[in-house]
Structures are given as structure tokens and as C-alpha cells.
Amino acid sequence: MWIQFLRLWKSFHNRKNSLFVGNPRGGRTAAILASLTSTCRRHDIDPQLYLTQLLTNLSQTRKSELPNWLPDQWKQLQAEQLRS
């Protein structure tokens, strides 16, 4: 599902029609996903892997642990786990 969204987002991202969404909630969701995928690319993270793990583990994550799921922090934790 996410890979399809990412492919569609890349193809429509630079078009003027991508500025229009069905409703404000859809616009907010698209903006959040675009921001997360851009941040992942900037930190050299596979957006599909990151979002899959995030959505899989989000329901079990405490509020105090949410900063660990920011892309840059997540990448550091992944690197530390690989070293262990």
C-alpha cells in the first residue's frame, strides 16, 4: 500500500493538481506523509521500511517513546541495534 502511495506521490508531486485534495483532512494527511517521506530521503532512510515499522509498532508505543520514532532518531536506534 505504501509503495503505491509513494509512487503516486512522486508522479503527482510536481503537478499543480497535487495542490488540491478532496477535503482538509486529506490535505493534512498528504502533507504529513510528504513531510515524513522527504525527511526519510534526506536522512538516507527507506521510507517504506520506516513507515511500515512505524505503523506496525505505533499502537504499542508509549507517548514518552514517540520522539524515538522521528526518522533521525529511528535511524540511530537501528544502527545501534545492528552493532549489538
Whether the full predicted model's pTM is greater than 0.75, yes or no, is no
Tell me the per-residue pLDDT of 1-57, one tens digit each, with 9 for 90 and over.
Answer: 556 665 655 555 555 555 567 777 888 888 888 899 999 999 999 999 999 999 999
Distance between CA atoms of residues 10 and 34, nearest Å: 9
C-alpha to C-alpha distance for 52 and 19, rounded to whole angstroms: 26
pLDDT at 2: 59
Q: What interhelical angle do 47-57 and 24-42 show, nearest 10?
A: 120
Q: Which residues of 44-61 are buried (b: 16+ CB within 10 A; e: fewer)?
A: ebebeebbeeeeeeeeee
